[in-house]
């Protein structure tokens, strides 16, 4: 059997949404100043296994570039979205 070439493998098949339960949504908060944050919804849609999964990219401003990654928990938009979801679950 011949080995698979890189062109015959869908590289996006390894990218899957870990929130897989029906009715649940992954809220991806990201700041454009955060070096390790990224809007991932479009990337995840490239894997057909994610078709049933909900993922929302929510851009927020958390602050200065070197501290942006550690300030999500202090951001009002993040807090409001989390509170809204918790209220729905009750």
pLDDT value of position 21: 72
Q: How confident is the model at residue 8 (pLDDT cuts 50, 70, 90)?
A: very low
Of the candidates 57, 65, 61, the one whose C-alpha atom is nearest the C-alpha of residue 31 is 61
Residues 6+ apart with CB under 8 A from 72: 29, 31, 60, 62, 78
Instruction: State mean pLDDT over 61-78.
Output: 91
For residue range 30-65, what is the model confidence (pLDDT) as tens digits? 999 999 999 999 888 888 888 888 899 999 999 888
How large is the C-alpha radius of gyration of the chain? 17
Instruction: Decide if pLDDT at 24 tops 50.
Output: yes
Q: How confident is the model at residue 1 (pLDDT cuts 50, 70, 90)?
A: very low
């Amino acid at each position: 059997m011949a080995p698979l070439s890189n062109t015959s493998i869908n590289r996006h098949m390894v990218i899957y949404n870990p929130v897989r339960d029906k009715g649940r949504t992954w809220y991806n908060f990201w700041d454009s100043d955060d070096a390790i944050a990224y809007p991932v919804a479009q990337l995840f849609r490239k894997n057909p296994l994610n078709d049933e999964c909900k993922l929302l990219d929510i851009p927020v401003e958390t602050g200065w570039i070197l501290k942006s990654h550690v300030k999500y928990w202090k951001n009002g938009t993040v807090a409001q979205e989390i509170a809204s979801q918790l209220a729905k679950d009750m």
